[in-house]
Amino acid sequence: MDGTTEPLLTVIGNPIAGNPSQFALERAIGALRLDWRVLSFDVPPENIAAALNGFSVTGISGVLIDPSVRQAASAWYAEQIGVEGVAIDCLVRGENGRFTGSDERRLWVEEQLAFRSGGDRLCFGNCAAGSSWDAKSLQMKKVSGNVKPEQIEAAQAILVVDDLSGPPELELDEWPANDGSTIVIELSSCNLLHDRIRELGYQLLTHSDLQIGVLARAVEKWSARQVDTAVIRDAVEEYLGV
């Protein structure tokens, strides 16, 4: 991203107020001693295409896309590249001046699953073909809440995402205790599950871990340099007053 002007990064969402991404990105690029600026824009989904078209001609170096406008941004990108069904949450300007998009949320989850490749991998929730978390493409088995305890015991990785009607029903009372060797990536909208999963001994990753991972991956995409995730985590927790 070499150039004669100060590189600009943007975060877009709707709403954008209360989003810690800009604050965390500023901390991250500061830690890397990069003289960049970060701006946030509140853009309704119906205006996303116009905003991204504008970014394409104004020299913006990278765009982080909040899940609130992810669908609209993905539709815009699919039209740009002429390919249907793509999903993106990050854009980086290439040497040709055009944006290249990636799905960093999905890539982060794939990375966590790759660390647990020695056993079964289960998915609860909407893991059907065509969803963001297609079980087949993630090499996982879609299961329901009343899965047998021995299946849970044999799993090395478990992904939990919302079903079409909300959080999936998990029979946690039937889950065996774990020694921390099994990872549970819990991305549903039911935070009440977290304490119980931890009490059972599973290694738990949540929306917060996903957000931090996506921010770190985006910085690496834009700068070709790795940032310590602790810097991002501290910034997010400070912003949210955790």
Question: How far lies 111's CA from each of 104, 185, 197, 214, in Å?
Answer: 10, 12, 21, 11
**Structure confidence at residue 5 (pLDDT):** 64
Domain 8-102+209-240 has CATH 3.40.630.10: no
**Structure confidence at residue 2 (pLDDT):** 46
**Structure confidence at residue 185 (pLDDT):** 96
As a whole number of angstroms, the distance between CA 74 and CA 94 comes to 18
pLDDT digits (tens, 9 = 90+) for 75-122: 999 999 999 889 999 999 988 889 999 999 999 999 999 887 777 999
CA count, 13 A, side-chain hemisphere, 146? 0
**Structure confidence at residue 56 (pLDDT):** 87
Q: Which residues contact 103 (CB under 8 A, 6 or more apart)?
A: 86, 87, 88, 89, 90
Which DSSP helix (H) or strand (E) runs through 71?
helix 70-81
Query: Which sequence spans correspond to the domains of the chain?
Result: 8-102+209-240, 107-205
To the question of pTM greater than 0.85 for the whole model, the response is: yes
Return phi, psi of residue 69, to 5°.
-125, 15
* Ranges in the chain, pLDDT < 70: 1-5, 242
CA count, 13 A, side-chain hemisphere, 15? 3
**Structure confidence at residue 118 (pLDDT):** 73
